[in-house]
Chains A and B, each alone.
Chain A
Amino acid sequence: MTVAIRRRPAIASQTVVVAVLVVAAVAILLPFMWLAVSSLKTEAEIFANPLAIVQTLTLSNYASLFAQFHFGIATVNSILISLGVVGISVALGGLAAYGFSRYPFRGSRLLLGGLLVTRMVTPAALVVPLYLMMNALGLLNNLVSIILGIAVLNLPFVVWVLRPFFDALPHEIEEAGLVDGLSPLGVFFRIAVRLAAPGLLTVAILSFIAGWTDLLFPISFSTTPEAGALTSGLLQMQTGYKIYWGSLMAGGVYLTLPTLALSFALQKYLIQGMRLGY
């Protein structure tokens, strides 16, 4: 009897809670959905009444990305930048995080603390000297400079996420490996990497997104479309005297689709990354 009395208001308030959550979800989805739908309109329809239903769907805005705005080469470049950032971050960050976790040495705590603090460095501040350095090395208008800049700012974050991850792994299997005659590096590659695979995957995804979405380094280190990324390419569509709205919308959606796909397919890892990453 008491149970029945208490269940009823719970169901009613549950409905209210779900209703609020659904309204919030729609509001949160709306900006991107609006962008996606608008990108399928012709420019004439974009400039007409914004609340009108779409009359004709067209992919012409997407075609213009490749015909007018070098999106073919920019796509290849953005993929190379992202893979470069993933490679450096996961390789160097994985080894370092493992070392800090398993083999502490004199000064290692201080080194780790210093490394973690560099995570807070203002990227725009680092760009100033890095630009002069890359200029001196002849690496401007070259993807290498962009990759190095993004990777060095991403690396502390990777160590930050991975070290607690290695800390939480059981030591016994690794010690058995050492007893069986594997070198520490052998233990790392054959045992630790496999046990830490979920952590490494999380870090790889977040590093990929860091490379894919970065704007600062492409606009600072590259002035040619041959060495440009998708993010900096998008800015070519808003010049001082004309904004190519249709292309800008299509380009925004195009830039978002891969990260969106990654986040839906690997949502668990992304949320884990957020939680470990702060």
Chain B
Amino acid sequence: MRRGRARRLTGFGLTLPASVFVFAFMVYPIASVVFLSVHDYSPLRSSATTFTGLANYAWLLGSDLVHQSIWITVVFTVVSVAIELAIGLALAVLLARAVIEARSRTGRVLVRLLSSAYILPFATPAVAGAIAWKILLHPQFGPVDALLHTDIAWFAQFPLASVIVADAWKTMPFVLFLLFAAVLSIEPEQYEAARLDGANGWQEFRYLTFPLILPVVAVTAAFRAVDAFTKIFDTVFVTTGGGPANDTQVFPLLIWRTTFDFLDFGHASALAVAAILVSAVLGAGLLALRRASTA
């Protein structure tokens, strides 16, 4: 009995520093942003904090700028994750096949080189990746326009599509390596059985590989979607800055601009509370999904 209590106290003690840290710099700030969200505080106009009830939330619900931003973020998330999944899945299946069939030494070296190449965007800071895409898609000295003999300013004329391409490039390796591990975990005997039955490559994928890795595909897609929706910032900030005419102003960027460009902490706080609520719901859902898929 004494030992049981000591054990519980030990657990509490070990987790206490992290809990205090997260409380001080996450939970307390979130509480204060909820407080601020029912006030008006715009230091550019006045240093006073005045209670305004739900006015900031009424603005949020009625503002076209906010609606537009949410819509852009949803489109960005759906299209970017779809591209990542399609390319990541295809490369994962092909790479796994190459690994399984690579019996020679050169084959194994080649596979290792390929995975080093595929991990590069993951290791590239989002800021640097964004700069690279800015140059690739530049109308005057970008190679894409030079090859096409056009002078399209991609980030101005097709801003959201360009941002999506840059983001999908950066995050695709994550999908690739997760699905690659899932494909490799399939028992080789199952493939041999399929081949004895005369299955071709596509049938093998359609009726064997894909159904077996589907749970991992689902969790990966859900995880990436939540991450894309809540965290997209750097790539947009560096390439378009949210423009032209707010056409790429994703939700996190809208919060940031409202805070730092307009110093409108009341409106920014209401936006932040909305974002945190969405994060909490999506995060809890993800946790449940992960528990269900690993159980």
Complex partner residue of A253 from B114, B128, B136, B286, CB under 8 angstroms: B128
Q: Produce 1/0 per residue, B128-144, CB < 8 A to A.
A: 11011101100011110
Stretch at the interface among B76-84, B206-214, B275-283: B275-283
CB-defined contacts of A148 to chain B, threshold 8 Å: 25
User: What separation, in Å, do the CA atoms of A106 and B185 have in the docked complex?
Assistant: 37
Q: Is the interface of B mostly helix, strand, loop or mixed?
A: helix
Give B238's nearest chain A residue, CB to CB.
Answer: A235
Q: Which residues in window 34-82 of B have CB below 8 A to A?
A: 36
Total B residues in contact with A, Cβ cutoff 8 Å: 100
In the assembled complex, the CB of A157 is this many whole angstroms from the nearest CB of chain B, namely 11
Residue in B36, B132, B177 whose CB lies within 8 Å of A35: B132
B154 at the interface (CB under 8 A from A): no
B142 touches A50 (CB 8 A): yes
The reply on A129 being an interface residue by CB < 8 A is yes
A35–B95 CA distance with the chains assembled, in angstroms: 27
> Does A53 lie at the interface of the complex (its beta carbon under 8 Å from any beta carbon of B)?
no
A residues with CB within 8 A of B: 6, 10, 13-14, 17-18, 20-22, 24-26, 28-32, 34-35, 38, 46-51, 88, 91-93, 95-96, 98-100, 102-106, 108, 111, 113, 115-133, 148-149, 151-153, 155-156, 159, 184, 188, 209, 212-213, 215-216, 219-220, 231, 234-235, 245, 248-249, 251-253, 255-256, 259-260, 262-264, 267, 270-271, 274-275, 278
Interface residues of B (CB under 8 A from A): 7-15, 17-19, 21-22, 25-26, 28-30, 32-33, 36, 87, 91, 94-95, 97-98, 101, 110, 113-129, 131-133, 135-136, 140-143, 146-147, 169, 172, 174, 177-178, 181, 195, 201, 219-220, 223, 226, 230-231, 233-234, 237-238, 251-253, 255-256, 259-260, 265, 268-269, 271-273, 275-276, 278-280, 282-284, 286-287, 290
